[in-house]
Amino acid sequence: MMYDSSALRAHLEQVVQLDDVAFQGIAQHFQPKKLRKQQFLVSKGDRVFNDHWVEKGLAKAYILDQKGKEYILQFAYEDWWITDYKAYFSQAVAEMWIECLEPTTVWCLSLEHRGQVCREWHTMANFFRIKSNRGYVALQQRILSLLQDTAQERYDKLLQKYPTLFQRVSKTQIAAYLGVSRETLSWLSNK
Amino acid sequence: MMYDSSALRAHLEQVVQLDDVAFQGIAQHFQPKKLRKQQFLVSKGDRVFNDHWVEKGLAKAYILDQKGKEYILQFAYEDWWITDYKAYFSQAVAEMWIECLEPTTVWCLSLEHRGQVCREWHTMANFFRIKSNRGYVALQQRILSLLQDTAQERYDKLLQKYPTLFQRVSKTQIAAYLGVSRETLSWLSNK
DNA sequence: CGCGCGATTGAGTAATTTCAAATCTAGTGG
DNA sequence: CCACTAGATTTGAAATTACTCAATCGCGCG
């Protein structure tokens, strides 16, 4: 089966410039993968081999506490990257689950291939550096939001920033991301 | 005035290996700076030129809300890095304050010099890549802790992980980092 | 039509905050 | 060495916020 990697190219080119030759070489290091709804990209306890760029679909990274309550670390839809980064970078076993909430197409990049791609193409090292820096800043902002904002404010900001997310995931999931109970979220969303 | 850069070298060598020649070259890109207690490394509204590695001392990065309530994003003592990364990477003005809580010695690295150092020494690019990845993971863990843990658990974990911090900063500051009021923290710390 | 999941609603409870006052502590100057 | 002061910490009461638990509602799908 043939996969079209043009969306991946467009994604990379949002950050760095690539010519045809370079992209051909780069794309070879990625492995496309299709998953059905409710399939797992990463399972707790399993080795994590890949980082994943989402071409199409939607996934969530989460942990469960003793009582089975879910805490969502991250959503990832079109153009986002997702994996258990702690396990990925240290080549260890996952401490979280990453599950598809829709039929999802991802492009997998192993740590090995990531290293090769960065060594071969200087621009790809730049790509990941820039992405990593932005990601760090985004996490800092989320921490400040968790410290500073009320549940209501966090809800409003998320709705404003990612309105499409609310059409794709249940409110229960939004609640697990914002750190409030679904009942409280229900109350908040009715103003 | 002469500065001894051997502590900086030791810090870098915790992550990558360097020979004398390389370190000599690398160190030239850093600018040492001494600050007194209550001086600012970064002031809200000012351009952020440097990232800072703390050789000695202690600083905090924080924001204030309308009522003047403080939220601490990060502490940094010996061997930590601190700046307003959003402003630093985008060469914009700071959205937070970074203030010394003790007499502090830092080594400053401008974005320009950071680029040069990474281009000249491949190992330094690796250093920052590895640091950045670890930092990202650490922020994810803090987010999960804010979502999942009670104030009591966050307090206990911080005390366990950074016991020396509690001897160097006031409880009010710890509270502003954990996201609880100082009264609640006082209650928590008395079991 | 009935099942099942998600969302909503309400009551009671637990945790945390705010506000105010009292207490403690470290550093200063007499 | 002591008294004084500013800042930090603790304590308590009242108010708020969010949580849990349970029941109900709404809707899509077989």
B169 CA, D9 C1': Å apart: 13
Note the CA–C1' distance, A180 to C11, in angstroms.
Answer: 19
pLDDT of residue B71: 95
Q: What is the pLDDT of residue A148?
A: 93
Please give the average per-residue pLDDT across A89-98, as a whole number: 97
Tell me which residue of A117, A124, A107, A110 sits closest to A3, measured CA to CA.
Answer: A107
Q: Please tell me the distance from the alpha carbon of residue A190 to that of residue A179, in angstroms, as a whole number.
A: 18
CATH of domain A6-123: 2.60.120.10
Q: How far is CA A72 from CA A45, A180, B149, in A?
A: 18, 11, 13
Over residues A159-188, the pLDDT tens digits come to: 999 999 999 999 999 999 999 999 999 988
Which residue type occupies A125?
A: A
What 3-state class would DSSP assign to A54?
strand
Provide, as residue numbers in chain A, all residues whose Cβ is less than 8 Å from the Cβ of B136: 85, 132, 135-136, 139
When CB atoms are compared, the residue of B133, B139, B179 closest to A139 is B139
Q: pTM of the full predicted structure? A: 0.95
Q: Within chain B, which residues score under 50 in pLDDT?
A: none
How many Å does it take to go from CA A184 to C1' C11? 14
DSSP codes, chain B: -----HHHHHHHHTTS---HHHHHHHHTT-EEEEE-TT-EEE-TTSB--EEEEEEESEEEEEEE-TT--EEEEEEEETT-EES-HHHHHHT-B-SSEEEESS-EEEEEEEHHHHHHHHHH-HHHHHHHHHHHHHHHHHHHHHHHHHHHS-HHHHHHHHHHH-TTHHHHS-HHHHHHHHTS-HHHHHHHHT-
Judge if the beta carbon of A184 is closer than 7 A to nucleic acid strand D: yes
Which nucleotides on strand D sit less than 7 A from a protein beta carbon? 8-13, 17-22
In the predicted structure, residue A1 carries a pLDDT above the cut 80: no
- Is the pLDDT at A10 greater than 90? The verdict is yes
Cβ of residue B118 lies below 7 Å from strand C: no
Q: What residue ranges do the domains of chain B occupy? A: 6-123
- pLDDT above 70 (res A154): yes
For A76, which DSSP code? E
User: What does the block give as tokens for A53?
Assistant: 């760029």
Task: Please tell me the distance from the alpha carbon of residue B89 to that of residue B40, in angstroms, as a whole number.
Answer: 19
Please check whether residue B42 is in contact with residue B96, taking contact to mean a CB–CB distance below 8 angstroms.
yes
pLDDT digits (tens, 9 = 90+) for A105-129: 999 999 999 999 999 999 999 999 9
Mean pLDDT of A80-98: 98
* Interface probe with B: pick from A130, A143, A178, most Cβ of B within 10 Å: A143
Question: Per residue in A11-56, pLDDT tens?
Answer: 999 999 999 999 999 999 999 999 999 999 999 999 999 999 999 9
Buried b / exposed e over A84-97, threshold 16 CB at 10 Å, is bbbbbbeeeebebb
- CB atoms B71 and A147 under 8 Å: yes
Predicted local distance difference test score (pLDDT) of residue A191: 61
Q: At CA B95, angle to CA B92 and CA B98, rounded to 5? A: 105
Q: What whole-number distance in Å separates Cα of residue A76 and Cα of residue A138?
A: 14
Dihedral of CA atoms B121, A86, A135, A59 in degrees, nearest 10, equals 140
What does the pLDDT read at residue A67?
86
